[in-house]
Each structure stands twice: as C-alpha cells, then as structure tokens.
C-alpha cells in the first residue's frame, strides 16, 4: 500500500512497523533525552515562506525556509556539500548549551543510489530497510519517492550530539535520507530539530543540468 509520508508530497513506498520512540533493536534501550535538548524551540515555518536554492555546478535545486541560510563548504570547494541552518543559529546555539541540534547537510555525489545508501548506513534486513547508528543499533527506515527523483530511503539513526568545540553532548535521534538514481545521488543529514526542513528539501529536491 502506498501512503503519504508527509504533507509536503514525499511518498512512502514501503513501511515496516514503527518502533516506539526510544525502542530500537540492539542490546540496550535508548531514550532520546539529551541535556536540555527537549526544551530547544521547534522552528516552525509557513509552507509558502520559502526560498529556492540552485547550484549549477553541482546540478542541484531545492527549497528551504526563508529564515534559514544555505552555505557551501569552504574547506573543500570541490565537494558539493552544503549546510542549511537557521539565520538565528548563533543565539539558538547558546540556548542549546552549544549543542548544534539544527544544522542540516546536503551532499551531492556522482555515485549510484544503492552505493551511497550503503555508505550512509542504510541496509536491507529481512526484506526491510534499516539505518544503522551508534554502536550499530538499527532503526527503521522507509523507501520514499519524490516528485523529481525516483529512488530514496529515509530514517532516523541513533547518534551522538556534540558541542561546537567537539565535546560530547549525548544521544540524539538524527533524521537522514539518501535519494538519487543510477549516476548521481544526494545524502541528507539533519539535526534532531530539523526533520521538517529535511522533508521540505526532499519534497522540492531536483537534480538539474
């Protein structure tokens, strides 16, 4: 059965039974309470209050909230790696005890979907998709299909959150996705508080050029 994965138009092709929050296969249970992260504000945005980002060199286009920014990676200009974060990120970072729970990254690579998905921890187990996280813990993942790309998988891995200086902040649930085709793909990694922005990008993402 095909159902809608989100109000933004990403189609969920196949779903396994969802685990309750904090219940993943593995040797020990996880509760996603990191310091004061549950008190961090959820940044809502209007569906019509968005901007379109286009990079001709990397052949990518997507929409993002108008009160967020997109920056290309400056350390390795040859990579097609982009960071998306709130315009008020500096003040939000202070409120979150210097733990970045918002930044989302998008990387476009000239590789097939299956290869990139495997490299980002997405695997098939007993006919279903999972995403691997901290200590190889499995979380459920779903095949998705967007209006401008065909192959995709999305999940939320169990991982670590870190302070800006590198100190460990605790366990987080980190939304992630890989989309693409036979020649080009994109990996998307979100923070605990940027899942809605990830869905917006997925729904409007397009390989161009």
**Residues 21-64: pLDDT tens digits?**
333 333 333 333 333 444 455 555 666 689 999 999 999 999 99
The pair of three-digit structure tokens given for residue 91, joined into one six-digit string: 């003040």
Instruction: With beta carbons less than 8 A apart as the criterion, state whether 37 and 99 touch.
Output: yes
Indicate the SS3 state at residue 7. coil
Inter-residue contact 206 to 62 (CB < 8 Å): yes
Q: What pTM was estimated for this model as a whole?
A: 0.79
Domains (range + CATH), the chain: 3-17+32-37+58-207 (3.40.1000)
Please state, in angstroms and rounded to a whole number, the distance separating the CA atoms of residues 103 and 123: 25
Instruction: Tell me the per-residue pLDDT of 69-128, one tens digit each, with 9 for 90 and over.
Output: 999 998 888 899 999 999 987 777 666 667 788 899 999 999 999 999 999 999 998 889
């Amino acid at each position: 059965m095909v159902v809608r994965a989100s109000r933004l138009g990403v189609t969920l092709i196949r779903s396994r039974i969802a685990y309750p929050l904090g219940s993943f296969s593995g040797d020990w249970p996880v509760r996603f309470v990191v310091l004061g992260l549950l008190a961090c504000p959820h940044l809502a945005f209007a569906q019509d209050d968005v901007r379109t980002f286009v990079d001709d060199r990397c052949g990518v286009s997507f929409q993002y909230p108008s009160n967020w920014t997109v920056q290309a990676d400056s350390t390795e200009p040859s990579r097609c790696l982009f960071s998306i974060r709130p315009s008020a990120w500096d003040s939000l970072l202070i409120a979150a005890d210097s733990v970045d729970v918002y930044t989302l990254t998008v990387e476009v690579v000239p590789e097939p979907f299956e290869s990139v998905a495997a490299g980002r921890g997405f695997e098939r187990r007993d006919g279903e998709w999972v995403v691997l996280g901290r200590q190889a813990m499995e979380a459920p993942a779903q095949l998705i299909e967007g209006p401008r790309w065909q192959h995709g998988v999305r999940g939320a891995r169990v991982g670590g959150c870190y302070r800006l200086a590198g100190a460990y902040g605790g366990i987080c649930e980190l939304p992630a996705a890989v989309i693409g085709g036979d020649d080009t793909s994109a990996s998307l990694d979100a923070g605990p508080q940027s899942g809605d922005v990830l869905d917006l990008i997925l729904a409007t993402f397009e390989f161009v050029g």
